[in-house]
Amino acid sequence: MLIHGYLLLIKPVPRFHSRKKFTMSSSAARHATRIFVANLPWTVGTTELRQFGSSFGRVTHASVVFDRNTGLSKGYGFLVYANGEGGGEGLIKPGNSTHFLEGNHITCTLAHNTN
């Protein structure tokens, strides 16, 4: 499950606050699987997390949370899978919620519904 190389993929951190107000809060979003990933190693950025997540289904959105003031990774992030495809379920199967990524055991849990 190692992520090789890195890919220059620019995916700006979405502004949830503006989205919340202005996007059609689609019924789709409600069913999308949103997974909270913790204990990420410092080497993993958004690109790497996306790559990692992609082996469990189609990832529509990935993000590792960085502290803008220090530039350091906070060690957690989110993976959002396309709805209705069962993506990401392999990550949170009971008894198999830890995975190995670049030296760390990461834990994945279903995120609370932000809506």
Binding residue for another protein, selected from 16, 26, 30, 42, defined by CB under 8 A? 42
- What token pair was written down for 32? 């999308």
Q: Which of residues 48-67 bind another protein (CB under 8 A)?
A: 48, 64, 66-67
Binding residue for another protein, selected from 72, 74, 90, 109, defined by CB under 8 A? 72
The angle subtended at Cα 78 by Cα 72 and Cα 82, nearest 5°, is 150
Strand blocks (E) in 1-115: 33-38, 59-66, 73-81, 98-101, 104-110
> Rounded distance, CA 77 to CA 60, Å?
14
Say whether residue 75 binds another protein (CB under 8 A).
no
Say whether residue 98 binds another protein (CB under 8 A).
yes
Binding residue for another protein, selected from 27, 68, 93, 113, defined by CB under 8 A? 68
